[in-house]
Chains A and B, each alone.
Chain A
Amino acid sequence: MSAFIALISGCIFAAGLAVSGMTDGNNIVAFLDITGDWDPNLAWVMVGAIGVHGAMIPLFKRRATPRFREVYPTSRSGGVDARLLAGAVVFGAGWGIGGICPGPSLVMLPSGSAPIVVFTVSMLAAIWSYDRWVAPRVAPEPQRPA
């Protein structure tokens, strides 16, 4: 049952990305092109997603445990530090060049289009390499309860 919920969630998430226009790189670039022919339309994606999710979070957090977990998972997130900022800068640069972020990349991959496949394979290789070789050498983030 938990596998089914996860599968359906992935399908709904992907459908949301496609319906909202996030799987078209030109939409992303137009949203980021604030000094040019700016198309602010994609801001509505965040309004919808944060509106729906943000409204429910306090209700979920009131429960003792999630449906398929014995305990609430602990959050690994710390505060604002140089690592967070550096990561956001590097990600933002790649997002501006490619017009694709990780969610859309996985949804777009089956299209088989060469630029999308090149982007996604490169991104997956970078994630894997970072986790394998870089992450063990940088200090782990502080642990604190959610």
Chain B
Amino acid sequence: MILSLGGGILIGCAANLIEWAFGDPAGISGITSSVLGQRRQSWHSFFILGLVATGVVLALFFPDLVVATADRSLIAMAAAGLLVGVGVRLGSGCTSGHGVCGISRRRPRSFVATTTFIAVGMCTVTLIRTLHSGGGV
């Protein structure tokens, strides 16, 4: 609990820095989309670089913190990536954009999106466990 709360506070501080400097929400799917589509502002690439560079440090020194979900086949992971990619563009945001930044801005649509994707995620996990109890996907 303390670690989750502390990590959340770090995420909130990062979102504060981005809002202070650029006035934008730190929504990662939107920033990723703009970097991929060459529509970026200069800060977008540096923000993504910070995420990936920290990932390199984690991989080298704290590999135990980065763990793939157990019992998921590569085909399931490819399908999951496809759904996440399409879903965040269609819904204009992900856990960071709607869940953290949108709710912090008290935007009704972000409350609706966040409750919806958490609820659907819960149904999906329940369904997977029910269909494949012990077997994985």
Contacts and interface: CB of A to CB of B under 8 A. Distances in A.
Interface of A: 2-26, 28-29, 32-36, 41-54, 56-57, 60, 65-69, 72-73, 76-80, 83-103, 105-116, 118-132, 134-135, 141, 146
A66 B55 CA distance: 28
On chain B, which size bracket covers the interface?
35 or more
A125 B12 CA distance: 28
B100 A91 contact: no
Contact of A21 (B4, B9, B14, B79): B4
B45 to A, nearest CB: 8
B83 A97 contact: yes
B8 A49 contact: yes
A88 B9 contact: no
A146 B89 CA distance: 20
A94 B91 contact: no
Given A84-B113, A123-B85, A60 B100 contact: no
Contacts of A114: 68, 74
Contacts of A141: 92
Contacts of B37: 128, 131-132
